[in-house]
Amino acid sequence: MNDLKEQWVSEGYVIIRALFDAQRTAALRTICDRILEEWRVTNPETGKPGGGPDATVLRHLNHQGYFADHPAELPTLMEAVADDKVLDTMRAIFGEEPLFRCTSYFFNPLNTNLDGNWHRDSQFGTPDDTAEQAVLAKAAAAGNSVQMQIALVPSDDIEVVPGSHARWDTPEEYAIRKADGGANNRANGMPGALGVTLAPGDAVLFNPMGLHRGRYHADRLRRTLMLTYTKTSAPYADYFSKQPWFLTPGYLDALTPKTKPFFERFVNTYEANWQ
């Protein structure tokens, strides 16, 4: 765990091999694929179809609407989110208790073949480079957020630039990521880019403030479960954390006594933002 922490601080990413065994990985894929098919027809958050044929991600797989006819599958998903190996990894990175934020599912589109756009999450919601640099500097020092992407099928569709979480773009990186209004942000040839190869059950964790992207090709199966966590001391309220269905009576009742308090802490942290 000390080596993991050192790599996280210096490189901004780590790979955990065989985070989940084959049985759990297969079970999660079955659940997530069923949810994907239902979401394409009706997203329970909106009552409308969840995405067109070129969609590549859905959020909130743990929405209660997906489990009305499959109640036994919700605890399977939630127990994976709060698995000891997962949370111990988060504790090693954060140096404190992790706080749940979101479940997401990345998948290949049905028709198109597209390399994703290079980005940092710091660019979203910041009006200019000065504002983004301030957000990045603060986030890099604190390391408050982790995105854990778990391959449910073999995957080499994630790319990161190690160490980029701790600094601003080089001129070459900026030319790809932001120059000309982002016209070049899908370009290949990002300096220092590392392609991450994962077997089913493997996970890559990365600081979302670093340079990263995914790839989405109709002819290459992608099924990646993403779990997002933050430090308990640094909660951040946004669409990811807005999950008022947690307040539905009985929603957490099927969880084990060990797991239930983890999600109760999530509710206690964000409930006021759901009103």
Mean pLDDT over 213-224 rounds to 95
* CA atoms of 92 and 69, how far apart (whole Å): 37
In the chain, pLDDT over 70 holds for what percent of residues? 99
Low-confidence winner among 1-5, 26-30, 60-64, 122-126 (lowest mean pLDDT): 1-5
Tokens of 1: 């765990």
- Residue 255: how many CB atoms within 10 A of its CB? 18
pTM as predicted: 0.94
Mean pLDDT over 104-128 rounds to 94
Model confidence at 193, pLDDT cuts 50, 70, 90, reads very high
Q: Where are the beta strands (DSSP E) in the chain?
A: 13-16, 57-59, 98-107, 113-115, 145-151, 155-160, 194-198, 203-206, 212-217, 223-231
Per-residue pLDDT at 25 = 98
Per-residue pLDDT at 141 = 62
Residue 235 three-state SS: coil
Per-residue pLDDT at 142 = 63
* Domains of the chain as residue ranges with CATH: 2-234 (2.60.120.620)
Mean pLDDT over 104-108 rounds to 97
In this model, does residue 225 exceed pLDDT 90?
yes
In this model, does residue 143 exceed pLDDT 90?
no
